[in-house]
Amino acid sequence: LILIKPTIEVCLSPALLHTYNLQNKIAVVIDVLRATSTICTALHNGASKIIPVASIDECMAYSIHSDYLLAAERDAKLPDGFVYGNSPKQYNTDKIKNKTIVLTTTNGTKMLHLCLGAEQIVIGSFGNMDALANYLLQQNKPVIMACSAWKDKVNMEDSIMAGGIVHRLKNNFTMACDSARMMEQQYAIAKNNIYEAHRIANHFGRLLDLGAADDLKFCLTENNTPVVPVLQGDSIVNVV
Amino acid sequence: LILIKPTIEVCLSPALLHTYNLQNKIAVVIDVLRATSTICTALHNGASKIIPVASIDECMAYSIHSDYLLAAERDAKLPDGFVYGNSPKQYNTDKIKNKTIVLTTTNGTKMLHLCLGAEQIVIGSFGNMDALANYLLQQNKPVIMACSAWKDKVNMEDSIMAGGIVHRLKNNFTMACDSARMMEQQYAIAKNNIYEAHRIANHFGRLLDLGAADDLKFCLTENNTPVVPVLQGDSIVNVV
């Protein structure tokens, strides 16, 4: 009997996705600040599903459904005409219960659409770290952690969150690229205080300037939204 | 009097170069295994200059100069018709003294050509770590560490070497991207034993399989070739 461990890889940016093969793999899309943290928060608070869309126009088109919440973010800000944006705070409430949310963001929904060649797409954030790791262990299939980055530029928060999953799975999976190996070590440095470790991150300063200090605290905390969001058809739903 | 520190950035792959601006910056091209280690070795052993070229054909065309050494590597191997390849061992000898070497490699010379928009191009390897750091301190200009990677895929050895320069310069420069911040930390983990830290690296295994164990030892040793190779016109020369 030979046991072959499934592989785990970390792709640090959409611009590096061509160096990986998505076929027959589970792609975990990560956009810690803030799209995937927001998705986890909404599902944790009982939203029935999230429909991720690429453009503002596509999002607007869903206004024919008067009970849907339309949500958008561009360059970390709320575009004209929208009430719901990309702050998890807006979804951390009972008002979200049983709602369908249509969401478009600068980086996260882009990476999600680029990963459609994978066998399955799952959403990752610090908020669902342990729940996600347990789910991936049960699936026992090759995993690629897909960091959304910032307009293709590698960022700390997505990279380190990816490393946190590698850290949790490394005994049962084979680390199959150098980014996975480096980010596992990077997470090990950061894990005792995820929030403090990110003070030097580029996007930390950008969001602080935009008055999103609460969001930084929330998004850089582990396991506060223990859901497993999976793309099924055109919607993301919680499977645990 | 306001002192403004120059920036230092780390670009982890040619596929990420579009997220950085090269203008008015010194680009340090890194291909630890093995192109830039080989360049440093040849210059340290007295080669007069290295002419980096993009293609095998272009390299062959220099055969009209009977005294030039033509050197090539593709996929970590010696292409047909070449005697000199990409192993620093071949250049760690007096035979190299005063020679002109024409060199084409899979990744390193590609990244060098992509960096031609920078104000100056310098060559980095573990072998010239301290000499390079001192040179950059004296220049006091913005620096971008340009990792050649492996066919666009991020690798440990180039990333950590880049982090080693950030580590040495961080008091006098501003770390201006998350990759610089992460790789500085990554180097700090690895620095007490650079060779051992790379045992898990992807290309370490690949070169071991190709019988290049000596090269791994040599290329993963700091300060054994204390030169500062700078591109001047079409040639790389040592400026210290």
pLDDT tens digits for A50-87? 999 989 999 999 999 999 999 999 988 899 999 999 99
CA distance B109 to B113: 6
Contacts of B208 (CB under 8 A, 6+ apart): B216
CB contact under 8 A, B179 and A154: yes
Which of B152, B160, B200 lies nearest to residue A19, judging by beta carbons?
B152
Q: Out of A152, A160, A175, whose CB is closest to B18?
A: A152
The answer to whether the beta carbons of residues B162 and B135 sit under 8 Å apart is no
CA nearest to B151, candidates A21, A153, A114, A16: A16
**Residue A235 pLDDT level (bands cut at 50, 70, 90):** very high
CA distance A101 to chain B (A): 31
What per-residue confidence (pLDDT) applies to A181?
98
Q: Coil, strand, or helix at residue B212?
A: coil
Q: Which residue of B lies nearest to A12 if distances are taken between CA atoms?
A: B154
Look at residue A240 and tell me whether its pLDDT is greater than 80.
yes
Tell me if A200 and B181 make a contact (CB, 8 A cut-off): yes
Tokens of A203: 């996007």
Asked if B185's CB is within 8 angstroms of A201's CB, the reply is no
Residues of A in contact with B200 (CB under 8 A): 175, 181
The beta-carbon neighbor of B156 closest among A18, A159, A182 is: A182
Q: Are strands B229-232 and B235-238 parallel, antiparallel or unpaired?
A: antiparallel
> Hey, which residues does A84 pair with through a beta bridge?
A71
- Which residues of A have a CB under 8 Å from any CB of B? 12-13, 15-16, 18-19, 151-156, 159-160, 175, 177-179, 181-182, 185-186, 189, 200-202
C-alpha to C-alpha distance for B107 and B31, rounded to whole angstroms = 7
Q: What is the pLDDT of residue B29?
A: 98
Chain B closest CA to A31's CA: distance in Å?
15
- At B18, list the tokens: 């579009």
Q: How many CB atoms lie within 10 A of CB A139?
A: 14
pLDDT tens per residue, range B209-223: 988 899 999 999 999
C-alpha–C-alpha distance, residues A142 and A122, integer Å: 13
Q: Using 70 as the pLDDT threshold, list the residues of chain B that sit under it.
A: 1
pTM here is 0.96
Mention every residue, 6+ apart, whose C-beta is less than 8 A from residue B204: B33, B157, B198, B216
- Give the pair of three-digit tokens for residue A141: 């299939």
Taking an 8 Å cut-off on Cβ atoms, the answer to whether A182 and B179 are in contact is no
Question: How close, in Å, is residue A96 to chain B by CA atoms?
Answer: 34
- CA dist., res. B96 & res. B225, Å (int): 14
pLDDT tens digits for range A8-40: 999 999 999 999 999 999 999 999 999 999 999
Q: How far apart are CA A154 and CA A151, in angstroms?
A: 9
- Between chains, do A15 and B19 touch, taking CB under 8 Å as contact? yes
Min distance B7 CA to chain A CA atoms (Å): 14
